[in-house]
Amino acid sequence: MKKIAVILSGSGVFDGSEIHEAVLALFAIEQQGACWHCFAPNIDQHQVINHLNGEVSHEIRNVLVESARIARGNISDVATLNINDYDALLVPGGFGVANNLSDFARHGSACQLNEDVKQACQAFAHANKPAAYLCIAPTLIPQIYGPGAKATIGNDPDTASAFNAMGGEHIQCPVDDFVLDQKRRLLTTPAYMLATNISEAATGINKLVQELIKLA
C-alpha cells in the first residue's frame, strides 16, 4: 500500500490549512487504495483569525496542535518526517501555508520557508518522489525545486507574478484540472484559489490525487 505524507498548516482557511481541501485530499488518497499520515511544524501560528467574523484574535495557538484536529491525532512533528517511510507528499492550501509554513503573505516573492518544512519538502524533491501542492501551497515550490518549476495557483495575477519572480513558471489552470511538471514529478491544482464550493474543489483534487498515486 502506498503511503502519502501530508503537511498541514493549522486548522481553518484564514489562518491554517483549508479544511475542505485537506479532508478531500485525505479521502481521495484512501479512495485510491493508499494511506496517509499528517505532519505539521510544532510552532505558534503567525496569527489566529476568528472564522465567524474574520477578525484577528489575540489567542496563541500551536500549528501542530491545531492541525491534529483535522488529522484526528494521526499526526507528527514535521521535523520527524522520514521520507524513506513515504512514497509521495501532499500539501493542502489555506492561508496557514502563507503565514505558518512560510511568510509569503507578508513578504511575497522575498518570502522564507519554515526550515523544517523546507527540509521535508526538499527531501522528496531530491529523492525524485512525487509531490502535490494545492491552492496557495505552490508558492512554496520555487524555494524547494529551484528555477523553472512549473505549477499553477489558478489565475490570480499577483500571486502568479510573485511565483514567477521567485523563479517558477506559472501556468493557468481551471479548477477541474491539474498541472504536471513531468521532469520534477510535481503536481498542482487551483482548488479554492478558483473553487466556489466543495464540489468544484473536489474535481481537481480527485484528479490530482489519482495521478499522484500513479506516480508513486
Beta carbons of 14 and 49 less than 8 angstroms apart: yes
Strand partners, 186: 131, 181
CA–CA separation, 188 and 92 (whole Å): 10
The answer to whether 135 is a known catalytic residue is yes
Q: Which residues contact 96 (CB under 8 A, 6 or more apart)?
A: 8, 9, 10, 12, 15, 16, 17, 45, 63
Contact 95, 19 (CB under 8 A): no
User: Which of helix, strand or coil describes residue 79?
Assistant: helix
Task: Report which of 149, 189, 186 is spatially closest to residue 172, judged by C-alpha positions.
Answer: 189
Characterize the bridge pairing of strands 56-57 and 75-77: unpaired
Of 48, 14, 44, 39, give the one whose Cα is nearest residue 116: 39
Of the candidates 150, 127, 20, the one whose C-alpha atom is nearest the C-alpha of residue 81 is 127
Q: Which positions are catalytic?
A: 135
